Structure 1
Amino acid sequence: MLNPVRHLYLHVPFCPTICPYCDFHVLTRKSGMVDHYLRRMREEAQFQASRYNVDLKTVYFGGGTPSFLRDPEMTDLVDLIRTHLGWGTEENTLEINPGTVTRERAQLWKDLGFDRASVGVQSLNDETLKFLGRHHNAKQARTAIEVLLDVGFRVSGDLITAVPGQDLEGDIAGLIELGVEHISAYTLTIEEGTEFFRRGVQVREEDERRGFDLTAELLTAQGFERYEISNYARPRAHSRHNLAYWTNQHYLGLGPGAAGHYPTAREGLLSERITNPRLHDWLQQPFERREAEEIAPPDFVTDALFMGLRLRNGVDLADLSRRSGLDVWVRYQKPLKHHIKKGLLLLEGQVLKATDQGRWVLNQIIADCLEVDSRD
C-alpha cells in the first residue's frame, strides 16, 4: 500500500470580482455553476479516496474566495470531503475575504470544523485597498478579524507589500493590535495576463526590498518568528498545512486548477505531481487521464531544496538523503560549497540554510544544482 497522504488542498475558484493583480484560476459565479462544481467535487473526492491511502492531518480550502460560497454550499462541500476523505486532525484552514464575514457565518464555519482562518486583508488603508481593487474596506477587515477571533479561530492576516504609497508600518501595527497570531506578507508581483500587467503597473525594486526588510524588522521586534521567507508567526502558530508544502510532503489537490503531490508505486519514481485543468475541462475530463509529472529522486531533491531553503530551519540533508535514496551532499557538493563560500548558504552540521542574501537568489542556487542533474 502507498504511504498515507496526510494533507489536502481544495480549490474554490469563485470570487465576487477579479482583483487586478490576481493570476490564479478564478472566475465570477454564474447560474448553476456552483452546483456543477459541487457534483464534480464529490466525484473527485470519491476518486481520490479509491486511489490513495488518505489519513488527513490538515485541510486547506483556498481560492478564489471559499468564504464566498453560500452557507448551504459550504456545508455540502465540507460534508462531501468528510464523507469520502475525512477531516484534518491537526489544522483546518479556510481562506476568507473580509467582506464575507458575519458573526453567524463565522460560527457556521467554526461548527463545520474549520479552526484556522486565513484572511485576505492585504492592507488596512482604504487608499491602498482601492488601488489593489479590493472590495472591502479597512473597517470591514478589522471587524472581520475581531469576529473570527471572538468565535475562536486562529487567525492569519495576509498583507501585500511593495504597493506604491503604502503605509506598511501602519498595516503591520494594525494587524498586531488586532491580535492575529500569523502574518503572511507577499510582495506585489505583476503577472502577465492580469489587469495590472495590461495597465503597465510596475513594482520598483527598492520598494520590493524595503517591504521585504521592513516587514522582517517590525514583526521580529514584536515577537513574531520569520519561519519562512514570507511568513511570520507567534510561538506554535505556524501554518502546519503550508509547512507540508515547504517540506515536500505529499498532499491531495482537489478542484479546478489545483495541484497535488502524490506517492506512486511506479519503479524509479518517488512521487508524481498532477495539476488539474481549469474549470471547463475539470468538469468533463476523466480524472484518471490527467497527465502526471514524474518525480525521480534528483527532481525530488531539487524540489525539496528549493522549498526547504525558504524555511528558517532549512533542510536536513541526512533526512533528505534518506527520503530520496541519494547522498545529497555528495551529489551536489560542488554548487553547494560554491554558494556557502559566497555567503549565500550556511551548513550547520547536517542542516543546510539560506542566508538572508541567499534567499534573494534561490532560483540561481537551484539552477546550479540542476546543472549537476543535467550531466547524468
Structure 2
Amino acid sequence: MPAPDPTVRHLYVHVPFCPTICPYCDFHVLTRRGGLVEKYLERVEEEAARLAGEYAVDLDTVYIGGGTPSFLRDPEITALSQSIRRHLGWGRLENTLEINPGTVNAGRAALWRDLGFDRASVGVQSLDDATLKFLGRQHDARQAREAVTTLVDRGFRVSGDLITAVPGQPLESDIRGLVDLGVGHVSAYTLTIEPGTEFARRGVTVEEDDEHAGFERTEELLTALGFTRYEVSNYARPGQESRHNLAYWLGRTYLGLGPGAAGHYPAGLQSSAGQLYESAGEGGEQMADGLDLHSPLTTDHSPLTLRRTNPHLHDWLTGKQGEVQPIDAEEYVTDALFMGLRLREGVNLADLTRRSGLNVRERYARPLATNVRRGLLTLEGEQLRATPQGWWTLNRVVADFLES
C-alpha cells in the first residue's frame, strides 16, 4: 500500500493563564504571576521550532485556547502569533481565538484581526447577571453583549459559549439574546461538577432531570432559530461549523503546543520519546472546504497514530517531554466511534474499516446489535449514527464497544 501523506493540518495552542479561576473549571489553568508569561512565550518558541523539525506541517486551522488567551497583553498575543507563524505557519481556512468578554474593546479586536484571527470563540456562558454571578464569571451581561457586538462588527465569525442547567437560568432569553447579537455558532454545554473544582468542594449539584431538560430545550430553541445541531453540543448556521473542532471529531491528526496540550500525531515519524514508528495506508478524499476527511492509516501491527500529552506548566517550562501513547487499530476504532458518533452524520463503518484495518462490523457485531436494539444507534447501510437518546447516553454506548 502507498505511504500516507504525513502532513499535519491542524494546531491547538494552550494558553494556561486566567485572571481568575471559575468555580466549575477543571482545565489546566492558573493566574499569571511575575515572569511566567515571558517564560511561557520563550518555551512556545522552542517547542514550535521542535515540532516544525519533526513533522511536515501545512496548517488548515489554528485554535488558541485556554485558559484565557485574550487575557494576554497586546505585545504577548502578538509574540505568540508570530512564533506560530515563524515555525509552523498559519491556518488557510480558519484561525480561532478564545475570548473572555471582559477583555474586548474595539482596539483589541482590530489587533486580533490584524494578527490573522478570523474566528472568535467567546465565553459568554449566560446573558443573565445572576447566572453569571453564580458561575463566578468576572464579566456581566452588558459586557458580554458589547463584546459579541464588537467582534461581529469587526468581521469575526463569532461562536458563543453557553452553560445550561444552571439553577434559575433564563435559558430561552440567553439563547435568543445571543442569536440576536449575530453569532453564527453556539456551543452549549450542561453544567458539570468535576472533582477538585470549587463547585465540588462547595457541594454544588446538578439534577439529571435539569441537565436533560436543558439539553433538549437548547436544541428546540436553536433549531427554531435556524441553527443546525451538527454535534452533540454544537449548533451552527450553514457554513459556520468549527472546522478545527471537526478535525477532532473526524479523527484527524493535529499538533498540541503548550502546557497540558494534547496532540494526535501521525505514526511513522519521530516521536518526542525518540522512538520511530512506521505506518502505511491509503490516501483520503477531500471535503469541499479543503479539509481531509479520511486520515490514512496502516493495516499492519504498528501503531496507526500517536497521542502525546504535554506536562503541566512548570514541568513543561523545564523542557520535560510529554507522555506518548501509541494508538493501535482497536483503540483507533473506539476513539473514532466515541468522537464520530458525536456528529449528526455519525461514522461510516466501511470507511472506518478501511482506515483501521479491522472489520468493524464483524469485530463489534454484539455492541452494534445491542445498541441498535435499544434505540441508541441507527445503522443504515454503512452509516452508523446515534439517536437523540444515544447522544444523551453516549458514554455508555461507547463503553459497550470498549468492553466487547
Same fold (TM over 0.5): yes
Residue number among 335, 339, 345 corresponding to 1:313 in the alignment: 345
Q: State the match for 1:366 in structure 2.
A: 398
What residue ranges of structure 1 are gaps of 5+ in the alignment? none
Is structure 2 residue 278 aligned with structure 1 residue 283? no
Report the TM-score, using the length of structure 1 for normalisation: 0.97
Do the aligned residues in 1 keep the contact of 2:311 with 2:320 (CA within 8 Å)? no
**d(CA) in 2 for partners of 1:365, 1:204:** 21
Deviations 1:267-290 (A, max 9, x none): 510011111111000001343xx3
Is structure 2 residue 381 aligned with structure 1 residue 353? no
SS in 1 for 2:65: strand
Deviation of 1:360 after TM superposition, in Å, equals 1.9
**d(CA) in 2 for partners of 1:364, 1:175:** 32
Deviation of 1:368 after TM superposition, in Å, equals 1.7
Q: State the match for 2:32 in structure 1.
A: 29
Residue number among 283, 290, 297 corresponding to 2:329 in the alignment: 297
Residue number among 333, 351, 358 corresponding to 1:326 in the alignment: 358
**d(CA) in 2 for partners of 1:260, 1:132:** 30
Counting matched residue pairs gives 370
**d(CA) in 2 for partners of 1:361, 1:183:** 22
Structure number with the higher helix fraction is 1
Residue number among 2, 12, 15 corresponding to 2:15 in the alignment: 12
Bigger drift between 331-340 and 122-131 goes to 331-340
**d(CA) in 2 for partners of 1:57, 1:42:** 20
Deviation of 1:204 after TM superposition, in Å, equals 0.8
Deviation of 1:316 after TM superposition, in Å, equals 1.1
Amino acid of the structure 1 residue aligned with 2:311: P
**d(CA) in 1 for partners of 2:127, 2:320:** 44
Is structure 2 residue 306 aligned with structure 1 residue 272? yes
Deviation of 1:330 after TM superposition, in Å, equals 1.5
What residue ranges of structure 2 are gaps of 5+ in the alignment? 269-276, 279-301
Bigger drift between 121-130 and 316-325 goes to 316-325
Q: State the match for 1:52 in structure 2.
A: 55
Report the TM-score, using the length of structure 2 for normalisation: 0.90
**d(CA) in 2 for partners of 1:273, 1:137:** 39
**d(CA) in 2 for partners of 1:37, 1:309:** 36
Q: State the match for 1:196 in structure 2.
A: 199
Q: State the match for 2:375 in structure 1.
A: 343
Percent sequence identity over aligned pairs: 68
**d(CA) in 2 for partners of 1:203, 1:342:** 26
**d(CA) in 1 for partners of 2:203, 2:323:** 35
**d(CA) in 2 for partners of 1:210, 1:371:** 30
Residue number among 55, 75, 98 corresponding to 2:101 in the alignment: 98
Is structure 2 residue 163 aligned with structure 1 residue 136? no
Deviations 1:227-263 (A, max 9, x none): 0000000011000000000111100011011110001
Q: State the match for 2:286 in structure 1.
A: none
Following superposition of structure 1 onto structure 2, how do residues 42-121 of structure 1 map, counting pairs within 5 Å?
42-121=45-124
SS in 2 for 1:158: strand
SS in 2 for 1:193: coil
Following superposition of structure 1 onto structure 2, how do residues 132-171 of structure 1 map, counting pairs within 5 Å?
132-171=135-174
The RMSD of aligned alpha carbons is: 1.0
SS in 1 for 2:81: helix
Deviations 1:298-325 (A, max 9, x none): 1000000001001100001111111111
**d(CA) in 2 for partners of 1:360, 1:136:** 31
